[in-house]
């Protein structure tokens, strides 16, 4: 559910955080494509996890890690509003922790094997 929430927040509140990292590293074209790729990865990862697919878990983890890296990149490199930065970082880190926590993997192994 948190992956879906993050995808909706990208659509509603903009994707400047995720666009700037791609622009700084890869250029203008990548900055237009990466937010869409992140959106598709979060929604696809959530759907894959819901349907018990390993690729869904991998896709959600990679999207969550990119989201954390992009948020930290913007927070360290540019002058941003502290409260908005901390809220974005909190939700990004919670998603990574929930996906990678050993208890989540154990639950998946018991109920979906």
Residue 10 structure tokens: 């990208």
pTM: 0.81
Domain count, the chain: 1
d(CA 24, CA 57): 28
Q: How many CA atoms lie within 13 A of 59 on its CB side?
A: 21
d(CA 47, CA 57): 9
Write out the residue range of the structural domain in which residue 6 sits. 2-111
pLDDT per position as a tens digit, 13-69: 766 667 777 777 777 777 778 888 888 999 999 998 888 888 888 899 999 998 898
Q: What is the pLDDT of residue 62?
A: 93
CA distances 82 to 22, 32, 57, Å, are 22, 25, 31
Q: What is the pLDDT of residue 107?
A: 61
């Amino acid at each position: 559910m948190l992956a879906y929430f993050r995808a909706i927040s990208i659509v509603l509140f903009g994707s400047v955080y995720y666009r700037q990292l791609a622009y700084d590293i890869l250029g203008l074209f990548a900055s237009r494509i990466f937010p869409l790729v992140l959106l598709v990865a979060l929604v696809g990862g959530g759907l894959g996890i819901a349907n018990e697919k390993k690729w869904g878990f991998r896709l959600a983890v990679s999207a969550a890690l990119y989201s954390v890296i992009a948020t930290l990149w913007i927070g360290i490199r540019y002058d941003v509003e502290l409260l908005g930065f901390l809220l974005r970082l909190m939700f990004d880190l919670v998603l990574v922790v929930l996906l990678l926590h050993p208890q989540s993997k154990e639950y998946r192994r018991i109920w979906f094997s």
